[in-house]
Structure 1
Amino acid sequence: MPQLTTLETRPNRSVYDLVVAAFVGMLLISNIGATKLIAFGPDWSVGGAQLLPILTDGGAILFPLTYILGDVLAEVYGLRRANRTIITGFVLAAVMSLTFVIVDIAPPSPDWPNQDAWHTVLGVVPRFVVASLLGYLAGQLLNALVLVRIKERWGERHLWVRLITSTIVGELADTAVFSLIAWSTLGNFLGGDAVPWPAVINFFLVGWIYKVVVEAVMLPVTLRVIPWVKRREAA
Structure 2
Amino acid sequence: MTDLKRAVFARISSPYFPILTGLFVGIMLISNIAATKAVVLFESWLHFDLGPLHVNGLVTDGAFFLFPLSYVIGDVISEVYGFRAMRRTIATGFAAIVLASLCFWIAIELPAAGFYESQDAFSAVLGAVPQIVAAGLAGYVVGELLNSLILVKMKERAGERHLWARLIGSTVVGEFFDTLVFCSIAATAIGISTWSDFINYVVIGFVWKTLVEIVVMPGTYAVVGYLKRAEPSYREGLAAADQR
- Aligned position for 2:127: 123
What letter matches 1:31 in structure 2?
A: N
- Aligned position for 2:241: none
Shift of 1:83: 0.7
Question: In the superposition, relative to structure 1, how do residues 11 and 147 fare at CA in structure 2: closer, same or farther (>3 Å)?
Answer: closer
Shift of 1:117: 1.1
Contact 1:67–1:140 (CA under 8 A) maintained in structure 2:
yes
Is 1:208 equivalent to 2:206 in the alignment? yes
Shift of 1:179: 1.2
Shift of 1:128: 2.5
Partner of 2:111: helix, strand, or coil?
A: coil
Q: In the aligned structure 2, how far is the partner of 1:60 from the partner of 1:120? A: 20
Partner of 1:50: helix, strand, or coil?
A: strand
Shift of 1:56: 0.8
- Aligned position for 1:36: 37
Shift of 1:92: 0.7
What letter matches 2:56 in structure 1?
A: L
Aligned partner (choices 193, 196, 216) of residue 194 of structure 2: 196
Contact 2:38–2:190 (CA under 8 A) maintained in structure 1:
no
Question: In the superposition, relative to structure 1, how do residues 89 and 125 fare at CA in structure 2: closer, same or farther (>3 Å)?
Answer: closer
What letter matches 2:159 in structure 1?
A: G
| Poorly superposed stretches of 4+, deviation over 3 Å | 4-8, 10-13, 42-45, 124-127, 191-194
Is 1:168 equivalent to 2:166 in the alignment? no
- Aligned position for 1:75: 79
Partner of 2:57: helix, strand, or coil?
A: strand
What is the 5 A alignment of 1:137-176?
137-176=141-180
Shift of 1:168: 0.8
Shift of 1:50: 1.8
Q: In the aligned structure 2, how far is the partner of 1:83 from the partner of 1:133? A: 14
Contact 2:112–2:119 (CA under 8 A) maintained in structure 1:
yes
Q: In the aligned structure 2, how far is the partner of 1:97 from the partner of 1:77? A: 29
- Aligned position for 2:109: 105
Question: In the superposition, relative to structure 1, how do residues 196 and 45 fare at CA in structure 2: closer, same or farther (>3 Å)?
Answer: farther
Aligned partner (choices 70, 81, 102) of residue 66 of structure 1: 70
- TM-score in terms of structure 2 length: 0.85
Stretch deviating more after TM superposition (175-184 or 108-117) = 175-184
Contact 2:101–2:129 (CA under 8 A) maintained in structure 1:
no
Shift of 1:133: 1.1
Q: In the aligned structure 1, how far is the partner of 2:19 from the partner of 2:102? A: 26
Deviations 1:129-163 (A, max 9, x none): 21111011111111100100100111110001001
- TM-score in terms of structure 1 length: 0.88
Partner of 1:110: helix, strand, or coil?
A: coil
Q: In the aligned structure 1, how far is the partner of 2:190 from the partner of 2:82? A: 39
Shift of 1:52: 2.1
Q: In the aligned structure 2, how far is the partner of 1:51 from the partner of 1:157? A: 41
Contact 1:13–1:232 (CA under 8 A) maintained in structure 2:
no
Q: In the aligned structure 2, how far is the partner of 1:212 from the partner of 1:137? A: 18
- Aligned position for 1:52: 56
Percent same amino acid at aligned positions?
A: 43
Unmatched segments (≥5 aa) in structure 2: 1-5, 236-244
Partner of 2:40: helix, strand, or coil?
A: strand
Stretch deviating more after TM superposition (143-152 or 129-138) = 129-138
Q: In the aligned structure 1, how far is the partner of 2:228 from the partner of 2:184? A: 38
Partner of 1:231: helix, strand, or coil?
A: helix
- Aligned position for 1:188: none
Partner of 1:60: helix, strand, or coil?
A: coil
